[in-house]
Amino acid sequence: MNVKDFQFFIRDSLQHVDLMKSRHPGLPIFILGHSMGGAISILTACERPADFAGVVLIAPMVQMNPNSATPFKVFLAKVLNHMVPSLTLGSIESKWVSRDPKEVELYDTDELTYHGGVRVSFGMQLMGAAARIEREIPTIGWPFLLLHGDDDKLCDIIGSKMMYEKASATDKKLKVYEGAYHCLHHDLPEVVESVLKEVSSWITERLPAATSPEPQSS
């Protein structure tokens, strides 16, 4: 949770895309991102739009939460970033991850999940990424599917609505899950089932039709 430049995430994602292209030439590429991974996916696709057949975003970080990024807090973060960049701010409240208590418990006990506070320096990187996404949105022409819970306290749904309304793409869809929290793919069972069906069918519909082999001449 201490990266000097958000671009590192985009660089690594594109490196992986290049690896997949070399291993599976000719296959369409889709990228799926959740939360901060959604922000990474958006900026990755913006960097090389021709590489992607579609982008799926589950509760993506498009904008900073207006309650946590007030003008005063942003100003304070900039000051602290110069003085004590390693200072940690508040951590994520796990109760807002899912409405399923079992999923919250799994999140709390997952050793691969960072449970500490967000450093000021990383918060600045997130704000920079959100500002960059806002500038890029009007130019977005690639197909995308947005899924978001309207009771998401971690990544505000206004960002997804703004992206859907302002992106120039003609192939775009926003599906809102009423009452759902942040991790839609780990929410209540019926939401999880719907999300998986929605994502798989959306991708399948955008796969190129299989072409029949040319008849052999005798």
pTM assigned to the model = 0.86
Q: Which H/E stretch holds residue 131?
A: helix 120-136
> In the prediction, which pLDDT does 195 show?
98
Over range 101-122, report the average pLDDT: 90
With tokens 């958006």, the residue in question is 42
Mean pLDDT (the chain, rounded): 88
Tens of pLDDT, residues 44-58: 999 999 999 999 999
CB 146 within 8 A of CB 116: no
Tens of pLDDT, residues 123-174: 888 889 999 999 999 999 999 999 999 999 999 999 999 999 999 999 999 9
Interior/surface letters 131-168, b for 16+ CB within 10 angstroms, e for the rest: ebbbebbeebebbbbbbbbeebbbbbbebbbbbbeebe
Instruction: Please give the positions annotated as active site.
Output: 35, 152, 182
CATH number 3.40.50.970 is the correct assignment for the domain at 28-34+47-199:
no
